[in-house]
Amino acid sequence: MTDVLRQMVQETRLCPADLIYPVFVTRSNPGPIDAMPDVYRHTISEAVDIARRAADAGVSGLMLFGIPQSKDEHASRALSASGVISDTVEAIKNEGLNLVIITDVCVCSYISHGHCGIVHDDVVSNDETLPVLAQMAKIHADSGADIVAPSAMMDHQVHAIREKLDSSGHEHVSILSYSVKYASSFYGPFRDAAGGAPAFGDRKTHQMDSANRLEAMREVDLDIAEGADLLMVKPALAYLDVIHMISQHRPHIPLVAYNVSGEYSMVKAAAKQGYVDEASVVLEILTSIRRAGSKSVITYHALDVARWLQKS
């Protein structure tokens, strides 16, 4: 079978528009991330340059993660109208690029103890965290974000954010909910990148048990009922069955999968040792995520993949 014929009958196709590129932005200590080869903490001007490159490559969007200059137990910098994410969104939007800008909405990188919510007596307070997330989302929307992506896994976070956005004149801003976010071992490099590892305990009280599949449908249905416009499964590789199940049972809602930091770094480590060919392995992995039913994939390989696809 010739290459042309193989492409003609190919069931699942991967293109740059299927990809979303995650970007870490900071005002202090930019530079390489040891646990994630070829990934960096960027200045705002560098993030703007990346946005231009992503748009030129045909990548559909950027997901922005902020790393503040300082942290406290109230996540104060997350609520600053001149915070690093707000200023980055404005700077990118001023470029007039054909690019969707998504902002992560969680306090873990902004709060001194590294948990995803306000903590009292070593316990995350779900209800006290909701207005913080809602205000954070509003600030991002005020700056021009197209989509806000709550990742804290707090109960009713989508409702709180939707209500806040609508009452603030941001009815057009969409919500990409981290609906199915597992308490996973694949997040280690990200926590190094964003400085968001918990100082005590873990996140199993609010993130999902990796053994559970049907629970994912309950989480999805709750978020749909509260107004989520898009859904996410995170991580991707170990949860292809969950991606497929949701795509089959809730096909009317766009589904995004996050090919997370641990998945990225494992491939990088294997490629460095010569155990695998990086490009072919990455393309196979991302195609499998799309084949499982994801409409889009958030991946640190996005810019490289766009280049590889253009050459193929």
User: Which pLDDT value is given to residue 201?
Assistant: 44
For residue 122, the 8-state DSSP code is T
Chunked mean pLDDT (size 10), the chain, 312 residues: 76 95 94 94 97 98 90 76 95 97 90 67 77 95 97 92 98 97 89 59 70 96 97 97 97 97 97 98 98 98 96 74
pLDDT digit string, tens, across residues 289-298: 999 999 999 9
Q: Which two tokens stand for residue 81?
A: 């109208």
Strand stretches in the chain, DSSP E:
19-26, 31-33, 36-42, 61-67, 100-105, 119-120, 123-124, 147-150, 174-181, 230-234, 255-259, 296-299
User: Which pLDDT value is given to residue 243?
Assistant: 98
User: Which pLDDT value is given to residue 196?
Assistant: 58
Helix locations, 38-156, DSSP H: 44-57, 84-93, 126-143
Q: How far apart are CA 36 and CA 262, in angstroms?
A: 8
pLDDT digit string, tens, across residues 114-136: 567 677 666 776 788 899 999 99
Catalytic site positions: 181, 234
User: Which pLDDT value is given to residue 10?
Assistant: 82
